[in-house]
A and B are shown apart, each in its own frame.
Chain A
Amino acid sequence: MKRVYVNEEWCLGCHLCEYECAFANSGETNIVKAFKRDRKPIPRLHVEDAENGIHFAVSCRQCEVPYCVLGCITGALSKDEKGIIHIDENKCIGCRTCMLMCPYGALTINNNKTVTKCELCTNNNQEPACVQNCPNNAIVFEERE
């Protein structure tokens, strides 16, 4: 399936992806408005900045064997036929078991205390915002074999 992959070599650590992701999933139509809210929208991916100029973005890998889904105690997490892992906010109780299960640390707690994660922007029907807005092709959305 098409997944988000990281080209660490080209990541500048500008963190634009985080802001564009948070905006894309904020439901707002204007990025400024989205971030001028009392509670800033939470990004679904996370850029790590390490020593000697290493940067890279981490988002859900949409695992074949998704420990988060297996471990979810409420059934809020599920994998659709395309292989994309979704979370149902209404069922999530924020117990964070999934966060403890995920090898990548790709799940985060949203402002509403439920868990949120990358759903490849299928929820706001577009090509993943992080990929679209990466200035240096450090994040790509493609089929890899």
Chain B
Amino acid sequence: MGINLLYPKYEVIRNFDRCIECRVCERQCANEVHSYDPELKRMVADESKCVDCQRCVALCPTRALKIVETDNTFKKNVNWKQQTIEEVYRQAESGGVLLSSMGNPQEYPVYWDKMLINASQVTNPSIDPLREPMETKVFLGKKPKNIELDEAGNVKTILEPQIELELPIMFSAMSYGSISENAHKALARAATKMGTCYNTGEGGLNKELYQYGEHTIVQVASGRFGVHPDYLMAGKAIEIKMGQGAKPGIGGHLPGRKIGEKVSQTRMIPQGSDAISPAPHHDIYSIEDLRQLIFSLKEATNYSKPVIVKIAAVHNVAAIASGIARSGADIIAIDGFRGGTGAAPTRIRDNVGIPIELALAAVDQRLREEKIRNDISIVVGGSIRSASDVVKAIALGADACYIGTAALLAIGCHLCRKCQTGKCNWGIATQREDLVKRLNPDIATKRLENLLTAWNHEIQEMMGGMGINSIEALKGNRLMLRGIGLSAKELEILQIKHAGE
């Protein structure tokens, strides 16, 4: 349709002094950027197709490649930034809603980076994790008001079902369909090896993965895909997905081309048909409806599984959380606005929701003020990027964290944010067999294990520095945090002092 006003975003810089025409780049690019020109006797590139996923760069044996952002610019305009203009062009061309994937990349404050962690000096000793036990085990679930003992002094009280984690990090919900079977396998195996949980997302659970059930959180979302009694019983816990940080108030849409045989079986929908998760659950239009779903799920699993309710961090998240805590849920999962996704409308992803740090601070404080903090555990996700983010989240009051993007990065994702195309060159966000096999679960599992092991070491180091040798003593321990460059209001919400105070 007329002139294409979009100049390619990236340039493929090929060092011909180094290029040996091995054509690995060509073979590995699902976007068909690279090709060999027999007449020129050299590699050529169609840059308009490049998404900067870095696959070719990573595999080039002579390091002859790099991908750079084009420096071709429109006339400078603070109000009309180049991206804004390009988006207008794109929409003028397609007439469609702009789609993006992974987390909100815009320049909003990252509060994790505006909080500093404490350490012991003189008046109390720091603890060396190499010499002393440094405990990171956590339990998620309702806590009893008190513990009853019999005459012999043995415990009489029967606890509500709990999730026991060896470390306060779980893999967040990513559905089979949005990510590949091999990615799922790796998450399941790593979670099992490390004594934590992964989350099926709303894609159902492949029978082959039932063996990892003790470390699986099965999700029930508005589409109810793949939900049946065995599925509910297969997991360690059930998560009701009310919302997602990347697209609060929006449903999900897995295009038919990603619904192959296996996916269709797992999701229990016809092959090739679009999988549409409605924005709301059509049986939950109010908090009391949620309560009913929670208890029907508990009934269905004879009260053997804790129920998680996952919501997006939105403006009055504290009040919503309080409602959920009173609805019978055992755990609340809050997803910040930087959370990743396989596909979301760009406008939603970039403009809806609030940062997880503020949501967490508000929710934890509110539940304590209402004296119901023990009735529910808090799990937070939505861009936990490092061990220090985890430590800060726990100090703010979280029981555990969900990591999604970080986990995908560990297995090769380069955040090119083109998941929606289904042509993931790293074999993660795709169902194309030739691409899926690029992710060898043996390697991916090990990498995930390594990531969690490394983070846990760092968490232990930081705990030791604070003179804390068990993670529960860090939970909600906000004195261990100080703000840096934060306004009085932000400090008030986070309930931390400013550095120097």
Contacts and interface: CB of A to CB of B under 8 A. Distances in A.
A/B contact in complex, CB under 8 angstroms: yes
Interface of A: 9-10, 12-16, 19-20, 23, 31-32, 35-36, 40, 53, 133, 135-138
Contacts of B27: 12-15
Interface residues of B, number: 20
Contacts of A133: 61
Interface in B14-32: 17-18, 20, 22-24, 27-28
B59 interface: yes
B433 A53 contact: yes
Interface string B433-450: 110011010110000000
Interface in B40-62: 58-59, 61-62
B18 A32 contact: yes
A15 B22 contact: yes
Contacts of B437: 9-10, 12, 53, 136
Contact of B28 (A12, A32, A36): A12
A133 B22 CA distance: 14
Nearest to B19: A32
Contacts of B440: 10, 136-138
Contacts of A23: 61
Contacts of B59: 14, 16, 135
B168 to A, nearest CB: 31
Contacts of A9: 437
10 closest residue pairs by CB, A with B: A35-B20, A53-B434, A10-B440, A136-B440, A19-B22, A14-B24, A32-B62, A32-B18, A137-B440, A14-B27
Given A14-B27, A19-B61, A53-B434, A137 B20 contact: no
A40 B62 CA distance: 15
A15 B23 contact: yes
Contacts of A19: 20, 22, 24, 61
Interface in B295-346: none
25 contacts: A9-B437, A10-B440, A12-B27, A12-B28, A12-B434, A12-B437, A13-B27, A14-B24, A14-B28, A14-B59, A16-B61, A19-B22, A19-B24, A20-B61, A31-B20, A31-B62, A32-B17, A32-B20, A35-B20, A35-B62, A53-B433, A53-B437, A135-B59, A136-B437, A137-B440
A15 B25 CA distance: 11
Nearest to B434: A53
Nearest to B446: A137
A133 B59 CA distance: 10
A136 B438 contact: yes
A36 B61 contact: no
A141 to B, nearest CB: 15
Given A14-B28, A19-B61, A137 B442 contact: yes
A56 to B, nearest CB: 12
A9 B434 CA distance: 10
Contacts of A40: 20
Interface of B: 17-18, 20, 22-24, 27-28, 58-59, 61-62, 64, 433-434, 437-438, 440, 442-443
Nearest to B28: A14
Contacts of B64: 32
B427 to A, nearest CB: 9
A132 to B, nearest CB: 12
B24 A16 contact: yes
Nearest to A140: B442
A40 B21 CA distance: 11
Given A31-B20, A32-B20, A12 B62 contact: no
B450 to A, nearest CB: 15
Nearest to B433: A53
A12 B182 CA distance: 14
A110 to B, nearest CB: 19
Given A15-B22, A20-B61, 5 more contacts: A19-B22, A31-B20, A32-B20, A135-B59, A136-B440
Given A20-B61, A32-B62, A12 B22 contact: no
B17 to A, nearest CB: 7
A10 B440 CA distance: 6
Nearest to B442: A137
Contact of B61 (A12, A31, A136, A137): A31
B20 A12 contact: no
Nearest to B182: A10
B126 to A, nearest CB: 41
Contacts of A53: 433-434, 437
Contacts of B22: 15-16, 19, 35
- Among B18, B22, B59, the one with the most A-chain Cβ atoms within 10 Å of its Cβ is B22
Contacts of B434: 12, 53
Contact of A15 (B24, B62, B438): B24
A36 B438 contact: no
B393 to A, nearest CB: 34
- Among B23, B440, B442, B443, the one with the most A-chain Cβ atoms within 10 Å of its Cβ is B440
A43 B62 CA distance: 16
Contacts of A137: 440, 442-443
Contacts of A14: 24, 27-28, 59
B272 to A, nearest CB: 19
A119 B78 CA distance: 63
A36 B59 CA distance: 19
Nearest to A36: B20
Contacts of A20: 61
B321 to A, nearest CB: 43
A19 B27 CA distance: 14
A99 to B, nearest CB: 25
Contacts of B433: 53
Nearest to B432: A53
A132 B58 CA distance: 15
